[in-house]
Amino acid sequence: MPLFSNNKNTQAGERGDHFRLGVWLRLHGVDLITMALMGALGLGIYEAPPAPSRSFPVYFQDGEVVYPQFAYPLRKEIIPIYAAALIAFLVPFFFFTIFQVRRRSLNDWLTTTMGLLKSLITAAVFQVFLKWLIGGLRPHFYAVCQPNVQANVAPFGTGFASLMYDRSVCTGDKDQIDDSLESFPSGHSTAAWAGLFYLALYINAQLKVMSAHNSAYWKMILMFSPLLGATLISGALTIDEFHNWYDVLAGAIIGTCTALVAFRQTFAAVFDFRFNHVLLPRSTSLFHRNPFLVAGMQSPFFTYHVATEDLPVTREGGWGWGKEAFNGAPGDATVLMRGRQQGSGARNRPAEVPTNAYGV
């Protein structure tokens, strides 16, 4: 049974068709279960103590502190980790919801949000694994560790000139020491870029900031706003001395990568303005079989015309006029589409372009 009801005169997925939540849940049920398992795995690793036994110097033989960059005082976080995670989800979710004033598609709303969650959860699990197995010293490590090191008194140093110690010399709070040994990579940065970079891609796709039309300047500002937010969240970690610059950079790279993949897994393109607003189809899953696909009545690679629901939020630049698919760089796939349409004698008819169809 398709996600939307069909009849002979109605293209599946057009506005007015009936969205079936039960079918959507069956189609995405495996993903929902996988995300729940990944979230539980990430939380378990996050709560686990650091896996490696890290060695570190404290003083040179003349009593000078070896790494003063790890001797900053422990400060209160400017943005707590829970706040960074909430911002990374709620801000994109707010825009997904606002844009539904124009989109008016429950499938679009749910599937786009699921793409965001895929980015956030994948990035979170990736970074907690690195924290657990690699980690590193936070800038306030010495202040939290409060090492008690005295010459010729146990515990004795190891390594060359006996300069190296492990956490056995620490006299501070155990939980704070555990946390201060897991600096790399930054969880704040990872969450911020996984969520807000996904939002920037979504704004670009829906408002066609980068397209064949010179769009309004406010759209560019709106697209860069989440990137500014992610940068500020990341940068705040170096102000309150909770992370080193390379921890922040690594988190930003992880979050950006998961956002790119999650967005492309959800939509037909990342930067190709003709298709990056179009949801990719999900026709079958472990919990749902499409009878039309099984019977050979549909192709797993659906085609559709530019229906109302297949349009982005913007109407600027001719979107909705039926000419969207003809805009593109010389020599790209647009040439093939022009040739196909000219050959059919349907110059003024909306082109068929790959789209969201299960039928959605």
Per residue in 122-136, pLDDT (tens digit) is: 999 999 999 999 999
> Could you tell me where the beta strands, DSSP code E, fall in 75-191?
164-165
How long, in residues, is the chain? 360
pLDDT in tens, 57-107: 898 877 888 899 999 999 999 999 999 999 999 999 999 999 999 888 899
**Rounded CA separation 238/69 (Å):** 12
pTM for the model: 0.82
**Coil, strand or helix: which one is 177?**
helix
Residue 10: band (very low, low, confident or very high) from pLDDT cuts 50, 70, 90? very low
277 contacts 267 by C-beta, under 8 angstroms? yes
Domain locations in the chain as residue ranges: 21-49+69-136+171-266, 291-354
**Rounded CA separation 295/101 (Å):** 37
**Rounded CA separation 11/197 (Å):** 33
pLDDT at 14 over 50: no
